[in-house]
Amino acid sequence: MPAPVPARPRRAVAFCCDDRYLPYALFAASQIAGQAPQRDFDICLCGTEKPVIPDSLAGLGLRAIALSPEPALAGFGLDARRSESAYHRLLLPGQLAADYDRILYLDSDIFVQGGDIAALLGADLGGHAVAAVRDNPQWRTPGRMPEEFRTFRLGPARYLNSGVLLIDVPRWQKLGLTERMLAFGQSRGGQLKRHDQTLLNCVLHGDWAELSPKWNWQYSRAARLHEAMLGANIVHFIGPEKPWNAPAGALPPRFGAELSRFLRQHFPQRATALPPEGTGPGSRRMLSMLLRHLLNRRKMARYLARFPTDLTLRP
């Protein structure tokens, strides 16, 4: 096991995962480390049980951090695809405040293609505690009313996707957001339809800075071809189809091929044969995607025009 890595700068990228998702979090962490070998930020793997980083990845200088369990989370809603670790991102600002003033939280089901993460960590959030990307239903329909806002009798507001969160730790602490979210969840645990995302959106209710979708390109049939032309910094595989389990033709083969090579080298016991086939140009899936992209092209153009650069933030 690699020797413990102490905290260095006051900025970090952090993943929260259990053992099931650890290989995929480490894959994304290795992509970031490879793209920023002289980085001035830490890369942390966090869990209530300290993640075990293979010796073969010791050279990347990753930190493994054990989070203190939060008993209140036990009653919060989950589903078959998620464990309690889905809520651990809400604990990061409080439990890592001694080491970090800025934290970029990332989900484990991502593919990191580029982007200046150091510059993002230094972005001006305009007094907000959180910056994030809208959830993709609001990309094309900004005024769309989220179901949770109706459920909890909240007014219309922007609705964020919680897969990528840029957190100003002192501001988060000053606003008492962890405590407010835990209190909200304890009183409505069975109604948290989208888990941590519901908590964040209902407590913040639009009080967050908006990032370019290039930092959290939520991969769907209605947006994947736009990504192929524009290029995203982080591709986020929302929904059940991931590079490690997607059926043949569901995703471009490059995603699975790179992950497969990583798993064979560092987690051979978890390596599986991933389908090499991509989506054929004459397939029904391709025809469906082409039609969706054709129909939404103007709405997507309006949305993307709001972000002249990938470091533009909207208050």
The lowest-confidence range among 196-200, 221-225, 311-315 is 221-225
Confidence of residue 2 (pLDDT cuts 50, 70, 90): low
Choice between 191 and 170, residue whose per-residue pLDDT is larger: 170
Place of tokens 């129909």: 295
Q: How far apart are CA 178 and CA 200, in angstroms?
A: 10
In DSSP notation, 42-67 reads EEEEEESS-----GGGGGG--EEEEP
**Dihedral angle, C-alpha 187, 191, 196, 201, nearest 10 °:** -90
Is residue 107 domain-resident?
A: yes
pLDDT digits (tens, 9 = 90+) for 166-182: 999 999 999 999 999 99
**Domain contains 275:** no
pLDDT digits (tens, 9 = 90+) for 101-112: 999 999 999 999
64 within a domain of the structure (yes/no): yes
Give the per-residue pLDDT at 276: 60
The DSSP secondary structure of 92-157, one letter per residue, reads HHHHSTTT-SEEEEE-SSEEE----HHHHHT---TT-SEEEEEPTHHHH-TT---HHHHHTT----
Give me 175's structure tokens.
């606003």
State the Cα–Cα distance between residues 39 and 119, nearest whole angstrom.
Answer: 11
pTM of the predicted structure, to 2 decimals: 0.93
DSSP label at residue 88:
G
β-pairing, 234-236 vs 110-112, is antiparallel
Residue 4, domain member (yes or no): no
Q: Judge whether 170 lies within some domain.
A: yes
In this structure, is residue 156 part of a structural domain? yes
Amino acid, res. 262: F
Calculate the average pLDDT of the chain: 92
Which of left, alpha, beta for 5 (phi over 0: left; psi -120 to 50: alpha)? beta
CA atoms in the 13 A half-sphere facing the CB of 254 = 5
Q: Which residues contact residue 103 at a Cβ distance below 8 angstroms, ignoring those fewer than 6 apart?
A: 11, 12, 13, 14, 92, 93, 96, 165, 166, 167, 169
Distance CA(269)–CA(271), nearest Å, equals: 6
Q: Which of 187, 211, 203 is nearest to 135 (CA)?
A: 211
Domain count for the chain, please give it: 1
Residue range(s) defining the domain that contains residue 169: 11-214
| In-domain check, residue 149 | yes
Contact between residue 189 and residue 77 where contact means Cβ atoms under 8 Å apart: yes
* Cα–Cα distances in angstroms (integers) from residue 20 to residues 23, 85, 106, in the given order: 8, 11, 16
Tens digits of per-residue pLDDT, 66-120? 999 998 888 787 665 677 888 999 999 999 999 999 999 999 999 999 999 999 9
pLDDT band at 275 (very low <50, low <70, confident <90, very high): low
Answer for the pair 44, 61: CB distance below 8 angstroms, yes or no. no
- Report, as an integer, the average pLDDT of 9-23: 95
Q: How high is the pLDDT of residue 166?
A: 98
pLDDT > 70 in the chain, percent: 95
pLDDT band at residue 137 using 50, 70 and 90 as cut-offs? very high
Classify 193 as helix, strand or coil: coil
Residue 285 lies in a domain: no
The CATH number of the domain holding residue 170 is 3.90.550.10
In the 8-state DSSP scheme, what is residue 219?
A: -
Contact 106, 28 (CB under 8 A): yes
Lowest-pLDDT range of 25-34, 132-141, 167-176, 185-194 = 185-194
pLDDT at 78: 65
CA distance to 15, 88, 168, 173, per residue, from 94 (Å): 15, 11, 11, 7
Query: Where residue 217 falls among pLDDT bands split at 50, 70, 90?
Result: very high
